[in-house]
Each structure stands twice: as structure tokens, then as C-alpha cells.
Amino acid sequence: MKSGRPDEGGERGTESASGSGASDRRSVIRALAGALEVSDAASVPARLCQVCVDLLDITGASVSLDGGASGESAVWWSSDPVAAQLAEAQYSLGDGPCTTARTLVAPVLAADLTGGTDARRWPMFAQRAVELGVRAVFSLPLGSDAVAIGSLDLYRRGPGPLSPGDTAGAFTAGEAITLALMRVQSQAEDTAARGGAELTSWLDAAESGHEEVHYATGMLMVQLGVGPQQALARLRAYAYAQGVTVTQAAREVLARRVEFDE
């Protein structure tokens, strides 16, 4: 749990007792349970994410959802502009802790992006993260043991690993967010099956989160005669070369201000 904001790059005090981690986890569980006690199911995942920011020794958080077989993803929720920019950077680069966590369906804990193994693993992302004032990123896959539907991404301005208590709390939060997202999806499908008013599911939100990228990718598929993965890769490469996000690059393609050679 927090004992003050980590914005100055400092770490929390050393755990005072071996039982502190268990106490922290119980506090997180109580807070998560409180976040579930609302009538609007669609607001629950965001409330659960906010618990992470409020109680864990992190600076911010975001949730990115898998957009399907095209390899695209969308930022579903972010606690602040830096969290959103971190997620967008990984989306544009097609690489980073959250991308790796979803691919491996396993937690990825990058405690120091300023150097060492973490910086070498994702050099372009690490450089961008440091530019944004971020030194550590912790990504947890959301979904089952076999398939990730997205990731919970926590960041901190100071380097260093999560404490045992915060690690347990983050894992518990990830499980709760997964269940909440599944609940929203199930309610959307039940409502549609009954012919009721349309309820946007988390998958719909993910797929519509980057409509411009979808359309631009389609244009490149026709223009270059390639599949969706190759078209998206070309778009990402252009975005990186120009120093812009993939969404901004897509807008350039849609406005026909840029064309790609085969």
C-alpha cells in the first residue's frame, strides 16, 4: 500500500514486518470488493483499476485490450496522460512489456528501464518511457492461463521492483479486472440475444478504439497487396520513422498525404 506518492522517484519504506504483505493484500481485496458494489457493471473495471493507483506503490495504470487477430490493441482505461502515452507507445512500436505479457500470457515486471536487461529487451520502448519520466513498468495479462484478452499495466516514476505485498495485490486486481470484463461482455451478449438496447462490450470498445488504424490498414492491404499483419507492420514502421504515433500515421494515410511503395 502507499505511504505517499512515489512521484519524486523515491521508494517506500522497507517492509516493517513479514506480515505486512498479507495485511496489504487484505486491504486491496477489501477495496476491490467495494469497487464491485455498484449497479453499473460497465464502470466496474475502471473502478478496479483505480484501486491499484490508490493502494499500490505505483504512479499510474492503464488497461489495454486485445483488438483481435489483426494484432491491434486499444487503450480501454488510463489513470493519467502518461499512462495513456505509454500504452500508445507500445501500440505504435508493437513492442514493450504489455505486448510481451499478452504474447506470453505471463506477468512481465520491468523494474528498471534506464539500463540493464529491461532496457535491452525493449530498447525503443525503454527510451520513450524514460523520456516520459517513467523508470519501471509492470504488466499483467488479463484473461485465462492460455489466452490474454488484454493487460493491466502499472508504471512508476522511480526504478525498483514491486514489494511482495504490492505484487500480490496487483495479481489479485488483475484477476478481479478479468472477471469484471467478462461480466460486462456476458451482459452485452445477453442483452443482444434478448433484442434489448445495445450494450457496448469490452471487445467492441477495443475494436472501435482505433478505427482510423483499421481503415488505414485496409487501405494499405489493397495498395500493397499484403495481409493485415504486414500492412500494420508497415504503418508502425512509418510511424516510428516519422516520430509519430501509429494513430497519427493512420490519419496521414486516410488523408492521402502519404503513400507506400510495394
Q: Are 142 and 177 in contact, with CB atoms under 8 Å apart? A: yes
- Quick one: pLDDT at residue 241? 77
- Quick one: pLDDT at residue 181? 75
- Quick one: pLDDT at residue 232? 82
Higher pLDDT, 191 or 220: 220
CA distances (Å), origin 219, targets 121, 211, 214, 250: 32, 13, 9, 10
| Backbone phi and psi for residue 109, each to the nearest 5 degrees, phi listed first | -115, 100
Q: Which amino acid is present at 10?
A: G
Cell of residue 128, nine digits: 520513450
Cα separation, 222 vs 224, in Å, equals 6
pLDDT of 20 > 60? The answer is: no
Kindly indicate the confidence band of residue 11, based on its pLDDT and cuts at 50, 70 and 90: very low
| Backbone phi and psi for residue 61, each to the nearest 5 degrees, phi listed first | -150, 160
- Quick one: pLDDT at residue 186? 65
- Quick one: pLDDT at residue 176? 82
Domains of the chain as residue ranges with CATH: 20-190 (3.30.450.40), 210-254 (1.10.10)
**Across 95-104, 151-160, 235-244, least confident range:** 235-244
pLDDT of 258 > 90? The answer is: no
pLDDT per residue as tens digits for the range 53-112: 888 899 999 988 875 544 556 777 888 889 988 988 888 788 899 989 998 999 999 999
| DSSP designation for 18 | T
pLDDT of 38 > 70? The answer is: no
pLDDT per residue as tens digits for the range 193-232: 665 544 445 445 544 546 777 788 888 888 888 888 788 8
- Quick one: pLDDT at residue 67? 59
pLDDT of 155 > 90? The answer is: yes
- Quick one: pLDDT at residue 126? 95
Nearest to 88 by CA among 260, 189, 222, 236: 236
Cell of residue 59, nine digits: 504512479
- Quick one: pLDDT at residue 22? 52
**Across 15-19, 38-42, 248-252, least confident range:** 15-19
Return the number of other C-beta atoms located less than 10 Å from residue 112's C-beta.
Answer: 16
pLDDT of 143 > 50? The answer is: yes
What average pLDDT does the chain have? Answer: 77
Percent of the chain predicted with pLDDT > 70 = 71
- Quick one: pLDDT at residue 141? 93
Kindly indicate the confidence band of residue 179, based on its pLDDT and cuts at 50, 70 and 90: confident
Percent of the chain predicted with pLDDT > 90 = 23
- Quick one: pLDDT at residue 13? 40
